[in-house]
């Protein structure tokens, strides 16, 4: 089972969507990885942090909420 990357139109970045996610979740850094085709976020957990990866923005929101047990990246 492979991950199907999100293909954004030419010249469009994931920054507006990532910025919205950052506004929704205080202290989270989010971005779309053009090279990986994945959505990413760095989530604060206690004194440290956790990098999470998702296939789309909705899944990224879920990953942020469940960061401690989120299985990606491996």
pLDDT of the chain, 74 residues: tens digit per residue: 454 445 555 555 789 999 999 999 999 999 999 899 999 999 999 899 999 999 999 999 999 999 999 887 75
Count Cα atoms within 13 angstroms, Cβ side, for 38.
Answer: 13
Ordered by start, the domain boundaries in the chain are 15-69
Q: What is the pLDDT of residue 39?
A: 96
Contacts of 15 (CB under 8 A, 6+ apart): 31, 32
Q: What is the pLDDT of residue 60?
A: 97
For the entire predicted model, the pTM comes to 0.80
The token duo for 10 is 């030419």
């Amino acid at each position: 089972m492979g991950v199907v990357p999100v293909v954004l139109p030419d010249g469009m970045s994931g920054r507006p969507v990532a910025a919205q996610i950052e506004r929704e979740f205080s202290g989270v850094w989010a971005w779309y990885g053009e090279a990986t085709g994945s959505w990413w976020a760095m989530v604060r957990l206690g004194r440290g942090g956790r990098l999470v990866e998702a296939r789309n923005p909705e899944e990224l929101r879920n990953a942020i909420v469940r960061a401690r047990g989120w299985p990606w990246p491996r």
